[in-house]
Amino acid sequence: MARTEPRARPRPRDLPSPAPERNPGVPFDLGWVESVRANRSALERRAATLPGRRTVKQQWQAAWLLRAVTLLDLTTLAGDDTPGTVRRLCAKARQPVRPDLLAALGVAHLPLRVAAVCVYPALVPVAREALAGSGIPVAAVAAGFPSGQMPFETRLREIEWTVAQGADEIDVVIARSLVLTGRWRELYDEVRAFREACGPAHLKVILATGELGTLRNVARAALVAMMAGADFVKTSTGKEAVNATLPAGLAMVRMVRAFAERTGHRVGFKPAGGIRTAKAALDWMILVKEELGADWIRPELFRLGASTLLTDIERQLEHHATGRYSAAHRHPLP
């Protein structure tokens, strides 16, 4: 098996480039949308073989997992969320890995933190207060999350209200029916309106890939969202029967690459839903590195949406430091 290891002296193309400018969107192009194809068997074969062909072990795995922590959108989207739950989650976001474990790994000097904390709109003020001074953005779901089955004006007002509460990032859901019935121009107009309602807040567009029927629909929906000005395209809400899968993610990142090549605008990618293990996080990181390049493995362009993933990452880091696996309760989340 090939091993992905850091080079002692990175080549120029591997050095990080400046933070990308926001995607302003481009005019709707139906011809481009209709030209999109997705070879399901090829995508599934590539997704199935990639984790086995590219592996990371030992100290390189620990380094990749520490990077994964910085890519996390630490999330709580439960019906029983309370201000206390959110405050505890924000405390974990500030110190995602135990200090003694960081010291044992020799990285106590690193300013380790997660990429964002994601909550329901009503809890945005609580999260902002709890994260004050940390530099960690507050993200919130909106636009009729998770189904998108609300009147358009209501969804738009929810985005505006959430931004007014202080959210830095908005994760919206699309109306799946627009994809399933091929109403691409309406989907473009919807996402464009969401982008305008977000104002300075970054827009993450959730496709709910498990409900779109085909990988071709997934690829087309991702393209339309990027045309309309999405800052990120995201796989799932975490509430569907089928959430983030590598074949759907592969279809999306290839559209991200095609969009960047044609327009010059780089759009972020966020898999979410069902990502619970450190191995799964590494699989997603490998996929993005192989398809988009090492420069995409940073919070400005890649996020991992998860609520329980961090616990398993900490367990793997402790195993690397001590040679023993620890119980989950040693790495508590709210």
Q: Catalytic: which of 73, 92, 168, 234?
A: 234
3-state secondary structure of 299: coil
Residue at 214: amino acid letter: T
Q: Catalytic: which of 92, 204, 270, 312?
A: 270
| Positions of E strands within the chain | 2-3, 54-55, 72-75, 116-119, 138-142, 169-173, 202-206, 232-234, 268-270, 304-306
Give the Cβ contact number of residue 105 at 10 Å.
19
Q: Torsions phi, psi of 17, nearest 5?
A: -95, 170
Q: Are 216 and 36 within 8 A, CB to CB?
A: yes
Determine the longest span between alpha carbons in the chain, in angstroms.
56
Question: Is position 239 annotated as part of the catalytic site?
Answer: no
Enumerate residues 6+ apart whose C-beta is below 8 A from 104: 321, 322
| Cα–Cα nearest to 146, from 127, 128, 120 | 120
Question: Is position 231 annotated as part of the catalytic site?
Answer: no
Please report the sign of the dihedral spanned by the C-alpha atoms of residue 79, residue 80, residue 82, residue 84.
Answer: negative
Q: Catalytic: which of 168, 171, 231, 312?
A: 171
Question: Is position 171 annotated as part of the catalytic site?
Answer: yes
CA distances from 49 to 46, 210, 211, 284 (A): 5, 21, 25, 13
How big is the chain, counted in residues?
334
- The gap between the terminal CA atoms of the chain, to the nearest Å, is 38
What's the rounded Cα separation, in Å, for the pair 311 and 74? 11
- Which residues are known to be catalytic? 171, 234, 270
